[in-house]
Each structure stands twice: as C-alpha cells, then as structure tokens.
Amino acid sequence: MKTYSTEQIRNIFFIGNSGSGKTTLAEAMAFNGGIVDRRGDVNSKNTISDFKEIEQVNENSIFSALLYSEYNQCKINILDSPGLDDFIGGIISSMQVADTGVMVLNAQNGVEVGAEIHNRHLTKANKPMIIAVNHLDHEKTNWEKTIETARERFGHNVTLIQFPVETGSGFNSLVDVLTMKLYQYSGDSGKAEVSDIPANLIDQATALHNELIEKAAENDEALMELFFANDTLTEEEMRKGITLGLINRGILPVFCISARKNIGVSRLMEFISNACPSPADMPPSKAGSKEIKCDKSGQPSLFVFKSSYEPHVGEIVYFKVMSGEVREAADLVNTSTKNKERISQIFVTSGKNRIKVTSMIAGDLGTTVKLKATKTNHTLASSADIKFEPVQFPEPKYRTAIKPLSEGDEEKLGEALQKMREEDPTILVEYSKELKQIILSGQGEYHLNILKWHLDNVYKLGTEFIKPKIPYRETITKAAQADYRHKKQSGGAGQFGEVHMVIEPYKEGLADPTMFKLEGRELKISVRGKEDYDLTWGGKLIYYNCIVGGSIDARFMPAILKGIMEKMEEGPLTGSYARDIRVCVYDGKMHPVDSNEISFRLAGRNAFSMAFKKASPKILEPIYEVEVLVPSDRMGDVMSDLQGRRAIVQGMTSEAGFEKITAKVPLAEMDRYSTSLSSISGGRAMYSMKFSEYAQVPGEIQEELLKAYEAEEKEE
C-alpha cells in the first residue's frame, strides 16, 4: 500500500454510548476509502472491527479495534472503542495514541450516559473532539434536543458545521455551513450531489457560517485581527482557525450523519483529512524528562498500547510509531525490560485483516507478532534512555473471588487469567494467601462476566464466582501478659519450653518499655535486644528480648519469634493478619534435655495468642476513599445509599455539571456497588475508589465476625 508521511496521517478514535453506531460508522469509512468493497453489519455479525466471537454474541464492542481508511490523500487510522464503561480500558488506551476523538451521538436519545463519561475522560486528556450526530434517518430522531443536550453537557464550544434539511425517514441531505453548500445523497454509495443552499435555508446557514467564522478567529490573535479588519475569513484562514480550535478544544464541531445509510460520512472524512491535526501538529510526547516530537527524522521509537491473543497467531502487539521510521527486521531495545527485540514483521491492520509492510513512519499505528517479552505500556526504541509515559488505567471498582470447578485446573486457570490480564490491564488478578482465594477485580459486574465467558468458552475451563472475603486486620488496644508451658513426653526425648511475655499496642514514636502495670502489679523489664519488622501486610511488629539471667537460651529466641509471627499471620480472632504490636519476652524456663526449637516456637505461639485475647483486641477493616460523580437530580438517592453503607462523607463539590461526593466507605459495604449505583442513577453516575486506611469495625459487626469465624472453625 501507499506510504504516507506523518503530515498525511490522521489518528482518530470513536467514543460514545453503546448503540450509538460507532462500529457502523467505522464500516462506512472503510467502505468509502475502498478498504472493503462491501459494508458489514452488526446484526449480520460480519463487521471488520467487531470480529471476536464474544462481540458478535453480544452485538456490541468489547475490545478496541484498529482499522483504517484512505481518503483525500490521507491515511485515517481509526480506533473503534467500546461504549460501555465496564470496558473503559479500551477507550483510555486509544485516547493515549490517537489525536482526535469522534463522539458519536444517537439522535434518538441525545447525550447518553456513555457519552458523558467519555467526554470527562477526553476533557481530562485535553484531546480534540468532533461530534457526529448519528441515526438522523430514524423516525424518533430529535435533532434539536440532541444539540441542546450536547451544549448543556459539553459546553458552549459545541459549534454546528452542518444541520439536516429534514430528519427521520426523509433524511438524505444536509447543509454544510463551512463550505456553504447543500449535500444531497441517494443510495448508500456515500457520494453526494453538491449544490447551492436553497433560498429558504440561506439565512439560517449564513447565521451559522458567521458564528463559525467568529469561533475560528477566536483561536488565534492574527486571525482575530484579520476578522476585525475584513469582517470575515477566507476558507484557508477558517481551516487554520478550526484546526487550532480543535487542538485547544475551543471548537467542538458538529456533523450530521446516518452511518447505516452512509449519509454524510464522506464529508466527515473530508473534514478529518483537511482540518484535524496530524500527529506532527500535536504536542510532543513525554518520555521521562525528555519530550519526543513525532517526526520522521528522529530516532526510531514505538509505544505499545495494546496486546491481543488470536488463535493460530498468538500474541499480537499494537503500537504507535512515536518517532523516526521503524523498519522490518529492526533491532530495538525494550526500555522497560532492557532486552532487545527484533521487529520481524510489520502490519497495517484493519480488524482481523492485516497487510504486511516493510516500514512505518512516525505517527502511524500498526501491529507486529512474535515479540519475546513486550507487553502493553512498553517502549521499544533504538536508545535505552527513551521510555514513554504509560497508559494510566483506572483503578478497579468491582471484585469477586473465582475458583475452578475442578481442583486440578488451578494452574490452567492461572495461565488463562494471566493472558487475559495482558490483553485487558484493567483486570487485576491476585492470589490472596491471607484469604485463600483468587481475587479478580475489574470495572464492573458485566466486565467480569465477560471474562468468565472467555474462561468457559475459549479456554474451556469451568469456573464459578464466589463472594470475596474481606482482608480484615487484628490488633490490640492495651497491654496484657501471658505465659505458656509446652510440655510433651512420649518416651525418649520429650519437648519442653516455657515462655512469659507482655504485649502492647505499637504506636510511632513510643520509647522502649521499662515497666508495665498489669493486674495491679508492676513488672519491670530490661531490654537486651530489639528487632523491628515492617510487616508485608501493613503495620509493624517490635520484638524485644528482655531475658535476664539466662532463663531462656539466646538460641531459642528466633524460634519464639517464629511462633509469634505464625500467629500474627493467622490472627487469634478471625484468622486475619495481626499488626502494630510490641512483644516483650521477659522470662521462661528450659529443660537441659527436652528443650528444642519446636518447643519454644509452640510456647511462643500460644503465649502470644493468650496475651492477644486479653489485650482488648479489635478487628480493623479496610476503608476506601470513594469519589462519586452524580447528576444533581440523583444526589439524594446516592447519598442515602452511601449512608446505608456506613459511609462517612468527606465533602461535596460541583464538577462539570455533576455533583462530586467524596466519602470513606468500608470495603465490606462496597460489594456490587457498581450495579447498585447504575440502578439508582439510571446509569449516569460513575465512581472511583482507592484504598485509604484501616479502621476499627463497630462492636456489633465485630461480634458477627467472631461468631462467623467460630462457626467456620467448627465446620472444619
């Protein structure tokens, strides 16, 4: 195929609610560019972008798909992104490498939930956005409402480039106020008959044309001066102003289309090729302290934004050439692993179809195969000191535990989950030694149900989801003393070890202990040795050797510590990890023959457990900081629901037309919250959560946890 310069490349990505018609629009663009000779259809399950079985079963996009078109001497790379928030990872990674977002709106429904959510991400990334109002041929379309809600939700920079002459079943023509022409379509060839604007529409078109000129002039001081001097701008000056306006989001241009009937699509493509920024027009990419301009003359470098597995092919790596020219058989350094990788093959990709090419230049998107250890977010470059900033995927919001139906499938399950994690980095997989569960975390219930479908149907692994346990922690609130003698006699050498200890809560900055007042008596101690441990599960253990007179030999002190640590790993109350404790071993007894390490390990373990239960123990629970963005009319319902989850509201502010609630909520209360929030808000609210701290559980909940643990122990 033809080689395009960086200036001739346009990288766009589709965003918008599920059902808005993004995949159908991508299909029409590929057809208009001559990439396919027949347009596929979502219902017929033969589109080039939704080519995976699960997407055809569900009839919506689940993964982002790369395809392209050629139009007006430009190569338009298209990333068709999912519409559902559960699959936000595909949108975020597409946003990282593409330059312009095309927001596809369903004119029957106006600005829907997905469009609102995607616009927030797009605004945060400061990326240009075009609005394509689709389904204008549907009998229930509402053009005026769609534009009204677009301005309400996206702001005053929403600017009409076109308006339809008629909507509904009669939609076949539109007025373009940039070219000041009427475009009329017949059939589904995508070609328009261009003519003058009818007299009855010229006043409306002229008014919108003047608004567009003003918007274009606002984005450049020189253009503003020309506008004031001439009261207008030339077509070339307008194009420059619109491009600048797109880059700084001063203009959000609106186009009219019917992707299904291929109406208005070719004109949209013409605008993309003429006015949208090329990779060379965009700000340089950050690579640590360096800024790398998208320029063919630079040293070769590429950034991996996605990977995928396909049967009979293996792992496919999707990349953007960030600088220079990447050639077939090039040896590059993976700056994340420091290993060399050979780019054995380069492909221009259109869904599942791939065309082999010998090279790609800065700004282009492509794929390769058979890399050894290159994954999403890795950089390959000719220089080891270039490492591009990674895609910042959102934190997971929904968690569940999973187990195989067959006990012999644990290893297969682990391998399958690892592959799926590499394909979708918004999935987190963790085997919790503490909970004795495999914990899956994702963006929502539907997200993880799709993962399970793959396990059941692709990997042929029977699995089930079970309720995840909560990683509680145990600690103490006062000092307590205990002693324990382990004695076992069974013929021959026996076992003997006796340990006396005091435990107390650890707090930062406490001086070493010298005296304890316990049960009406004073206990003086003398610290001989101190060991300070940062526990892997959080918190500390301070272990003091306070033995005087050799009552316990120094060689047994590590065994006592081992016994204490064993019990801290399986706390005395509920089997959860214990934390933030100081232990003073101050006395004990030995036997000249029967004392050994195992005796003192068991004595230390049991003395610690007894002291722990006397030290007013408390259970701590993980608290998460939760941010909820909710429409103001659903604020009360969301607040009530949070309060029912033991939330402590930290604050409320307004953000981009939404109310933002910040609250601290126990993890135990967040089960199925994504599903509940969607139901309460009609799908319009979104939230994020991150770990904040551990805090004491209320007394009644602690009692419930203790009873549940006792019942579990009896069953075992």
DSSP 231-289: SS--HHHHHHHHHHHHHTTS-EEEEE-BTTTTBSHHHHHHHHHHHSPPGGGSPPEEETT
Q: Which of 647, 644, 675 is nearest to 663 (CA)?
A: 647
The band of 7, judged by pLDDT with boundaries at 50, 70 and 90, is very high
Give the integer Cα–Cα distance in Å for 131 and 147: 10
Quote the pLDDT of residue 657.
Answer: 65
Q: What is the pLDDT of residues 318-332, one digit of tens each?
A: 999 999 999 999 999
Q: Specify the fold of 398-469.
A: Alpha-Beta Plaits (3.30.70)
- Give me the residue label for tokens 């690892």: 418
Q: What is the pLDDT of residues 627-674, one digit of tens each?
A: 998 888 889 999 999 999 999 999 999 876 678 999 999 999 998 898
| CATH classification number, 619-701, choose in 3.30.70.240, 3.90.1300.10, 3.10.129.10, 3.30.2320.30 | 3.30.70.240
Give the integer Cα–Cα distance in Å for 558 and 415: 38
Q: Do domains 398-469 and 474-616 have the same CATH topology?
A: no
Q: What is the pLDDT of residues 257-269, one digit of tens each?
A: 999 999 999 999 9
Determine contact, residues 167/141, Cβ cutoff 8 Å.
yes
Determine contact, residues 27/47, Cβ cutoff 8 Å.
yes
For the segment 348-368, the average pLDDT, to the nearest whole number, is 94
Give the integer Cα–Cα distance in Å for 344 and 371: 8
Is the pLDDT score of 46 beyond 90?
no
DSSP 152-167: HHH-TTEEESEEESS-
Give the pTM.
0.85
| Pairing relationship of beta strands 129-134 and 252-256 according to DSSP bridges | parallel
Q: Which amino acid is at 145?
A: K
CATH superfamily of 6-281: P-loop containing nucleotide triphosphate hydrolases (3.40.50.300)
Q: What is the pLDDT of residues 66-77, one digit of tens each?
A: 999 999 999 999
The band of 43, judged by pLDDT with boundaries at 50, 70 and 90, is confident
Q: Specify the fold of 474-616.
A: Ribosomal Protein S5; domain 2 (3.30.230)
**Distance, first Cα to last Cα, the chain:** 67
- Counting residues of the chain whose pLDDT is more than 90, the rounded percentage is 75
Is the pLDDT score of 491 beyond 80?
no
| Pairing relationship of beta strands 581-589 and 495-505 according to DSSP bridges | antiparallel
Q: Which two tokens stand for residue 232?
A: 């207008």
Quote the pLDDT of residue 376.
Answer: 95
For the segment 21-37, the average pLDDT, to the nearest whole number, is 94
Determine contact, residues 15/130, Cβ cutoff 8 Å.
no
CATH of domain 291-381: 2.40.30.10
Is the pLDDT score of 702 beyond 90?
yes
List the domain boundaries for the chain: 6-281, 291-381, 398-469, 474-616, 619-701
Q: CB within 8 A of 23, min separation 6: which ones?
A: 42, 47, 49, 50, 61, 80
Rg (CA), the chain: 32
Helices 673-681, 635-643: inter-axial angle, 10-degree rounding: 150
Q: What is the pLDDT of residues 584-635, one digit of tens each?
A: 999 999 998 889 999 999 999 999 999 999 999 999 999 999 999 888 888 9
Quote the pLDDT of residue 5.
Answer: 94
Give the integer Cα–Cα distance in Å for 362 and 322: 5
Quote the pLDDT of residue 82.
Answer: 92
Lowest mean pLDDT among 88-97, 128-137, 221-230, 640-649: 221-230
CA distances from 533 to 339, 539, 561, 607 (A): 36, 9, 11, 20
Average pLDDT over the chain reads: 92
Q: What is the pLDDT of residues 419-473, one digit of tens each?
A: 999 999 999 999 998 898 999 999 989 999 999 999 999 999 999 999 999 999 9
For residue 108, the tally of other CB atoms under 10 A from its CB is: 18
For the segment 271-298, the average pLDDT, to the nearest whole number, is 93
Q: What is the pLDDT of residues 142-189, one digit of tens each?
A: 999 999 999 988 999 999 999 999 999 999 999 999 999 999 999 888
